[in-house]
Structure 1
């Protein structure tokens, strides 16, 4: 257990926040610090073909130790942390034998991680938790995944009696800003399929996700002295508000769940003359996804008719539901499900209300379901992870490698 704790803490204390406004890859230079550290660590534990390319993608190989052909499989996690919340000066704290009560993260600021609000905490009573100090996110998304993959590779290297085929691993930059798979070299990676270790609570297994698009609405108003504005002024701020209110009021993140889609505006900046409204569109069903985009265009057209082409609508698809690419090779999900059962975990198969590198990689020719990494409350100060969940994730990786060799070796 201590090895996992030490490794995880050594990763999360490195600031690797990505930056959506940057046009470089990685989007932040500080991601190179972790990338270079991982390269050296992979070499130290005995991995082969260790490399980091000009864009910060780290890859390595664990050679096969069997005498028969086995499909090459992979495991992938991302190095960056979310720009949604402070990711600097992370000071993780280890809580041993959690007692099921409130955890004071920051006494000065009265920041409390409470099971009365975060009920999932209670299922980890008696376990070891790693939490924040209340001033930053933790970074378990997805440095837990990195920890688990490297620990699993280290275990397989030291236990050659466990037979497995060739295993490829990769750590990507910029997943949190939707670019993690953007420059991923699938051909170089050379796996038949892979798994992202990027899910949340123990047992999660996911092979479907949202279809996703980004939305930018630029609104041009007309500023006139308010005392003489009748029939002349066009207030772009009010037009932005009208646009948002013309969408279905219940189809927003806070009122949807499961496979239900939504519209979500997360930024508005402007004045009377110019306003920019930014948001996202999400839906698991592709036809409904397309209908949502059509509705946005319909509203833009209607408002433009009334207000003289004041609105410019930009919609850019971001990623698609990987289910379409996973179902034809569903045995890769079956292997992961069986691996969880074999190590004493009840699989919890559910759709992702978001996306991972795996959704894009699946459309790039690398089918890639998502497996739990163990953390909770990602992207904020209440983020935490049970160490025992990380241990189980390591066991799942090892068991997947073993089962692939047993079931699909030739």
Structure 2
């Protein structure tokens, strides 16, 4: 497992935080630092057709080692980290033979990773954990996935007795800001289907995700001197609060789980003259998703009618859709992943993603793409950690999927 630890640490110590306010691809120049390293590493382990384009999308091929036709499969991960929390100067800590007690991430700042709060820690007693030092995120999302894919390819190259068809590898920038698949060349990639290695807990296998949209509600007011404001001032912030309170109070992220959708107010920018409310809208069910968008538009209309003037306006943009629609017609690709997990002693955890994935966009671009665990927990923050044994199992799953795909094609 030491090779996994060393490889993973070499990746997470390179800052690749993406920037939603940038219009370039990749959104930050520092993402090139890891991208170029990955290109050289893929060449070093013996991959073929290694390429990186002008937007830092990386592709490589492991040629088939059988003399019969096998579907071409792919494995994809992203190398950027979330702007939600700093990814600069990551200092990973290795906790060997975890004993189930509190882990002191940062003694000076009294930052504790505790199983009293993060109960999943207790699943990994006796294992080796990689944590942060409490001041940054770790970057297991998704550098664990990259580690697993490259390690699996290296293992297959060094063990040619494992029979497999052609395997494609793809690494993308800017997934954390919703652009990971925007410039992915599906035709060049050339796979019949693929898997993103971007899930969390060991055993996760996902082929459903939210339908997603963003909404910006703009509320117009009128500013006059407050000393002479009677019957003249219109404070947009007060009116904006009416919109917020008009949406279902229990349909928020903090009150929902499983297949339940939500409205999430992510940002308020307000002054007397104008207030903007930024929302994200999420639901697995397409009809309910459309209903949520309609509800927001209706609230705007009702409030404008109530005040007999056009104070409110709304702009809604679809972001991505539930990949289930594209994966269900080819469910054998999920079945193969499920069988791969079972064959190495894992119990598959098949559940919907309460979020998005590059796999969703790729599925709608013609590349069906379920999501497989990468092993990390508590992504996007100081409490992020990953068990090394989970990464090792992910490597085994990748290799087993390749082997099963080849053996099924032979029958």
Cα deviation code 1:314-349 (max 9, x no counterpart) = 110000000000000000000000000001100000
Q: Which residue of 1 aligns with 2:154?
A: 154
Q: Residues 123-202 of structure 1: matches in 2 within 5 Å? A: 123-202=123-202
Give TM-score, length-normalised by structure 2.
Answer: 0.99
Q: Which residue of 2 aligns with 1:347?
A: 348
Number of corresponding residues: 410
Whole-angstrom CA distance in 2 between matches of 1:321 and 1:53: 28
Whole-angstrom CA distance in 2 between matches of 1:220 and 1:100: 54
Whole-angstrom CA distance in 2 between matches of 1:21 and 1:301: 31
Cα deviation code 1:124-145 (max 9, x no counterpart) = 0010000001011000000000
Whole-angstrom CA distance in 1 between matches of 2:200 and 2:291: 30
Greater shift, 237-246 or 186-195, is seen at: 237-246
Q: Which residue of 2 aligns with 1:403?
A: 404
Secondary structure, counterpart of 1:219 in structure 2: strand
Whole-angstrom CA distance in 1 between matches of 2:354 and 2:361: 15
Whole-angstrom CA distance in 1 between matches of 2:90 and 2:40: 23
Secondary structure, counterpart of 1:321 in structure 2: coil
**Are 1:237 and 2:237 an aligned pair?**
yes
Q: Residues 56-67 of structure 1: matches in 2 within 5 Å? A: 56-67=56-67
Greater shift, 62-71 or 273-282, is seen at: 273-282
Secondary structure, counterpart of 1:42 in structure 2: helix
Q: Which residue of 2 aligns with 1:326?
A: 327
Q: Is the Cα contact below 8 Å between 1:222 and 1:273 reproduced in 2? A: yes
Secondary structure, counterpart of 2:269 in structure 1: strand
Give TM-score, length-normalised by structure 1.
Answer: 0.99
Secondary structure, counterpart of 1:195 in structure 2: strand
Whole-angstrom CA distance in 2 between matches of 1:400 and 1:382: 31
Q: Which residue of 1 aligns with 2:112?
A: 112
Cα deviation code 1:328-382 (max 9, x no counterpart) = 0000000000000001100000000001000000000000000000000000000
Whole-angstrom CA distance in 2 between matches of 1:120 and 1:98: 13
Q: Which residue of 1 aligns with 2:360?
A: 359
Query: 1:226 offset after TM fit, Å?
Result: 2.7
Cα deviation code 1:26-62 (max 9, x no counterpart) = 1111111111000000000000000000111000000
Query: 1:240 offset after TM fit, Å?
Result: 1.7
Query: 1:269 offset after TM fit, Å?
Result: 1.2
Query: 1:388 offset after TM fit, Å?
Result: 0.1
Q: Which residue of 1 aligns with 2:288?
A: 288
**Are 1:85 and 2:85 an aligned pair?**
yes
**Are 1:43 and 2:43 an aligned pair?**
yes
Q: Which 5+ residue runs of structure 1 have no aligned equivalent?
A: none
Whole-angstrom CA distance in 2 between matches of 1:101 and 1:291: 46
Secondary structure, counterpart of 2:363 in structure 1: helix
Q: Is the Cα contact below 8 Å between 1:71 and 1:409 reproduced in 2? A: no
Q: Which 5+ residue runs of structure 2 have no aligned equivalent?
A: none
Q: Residues 11-22 of structure 1: matches in 2 within 5 Å? A: 11-22=11-22
Q: Is the Cα contact below 8 Å between 1:219 and 1:239 reproduced in 2? A: yes
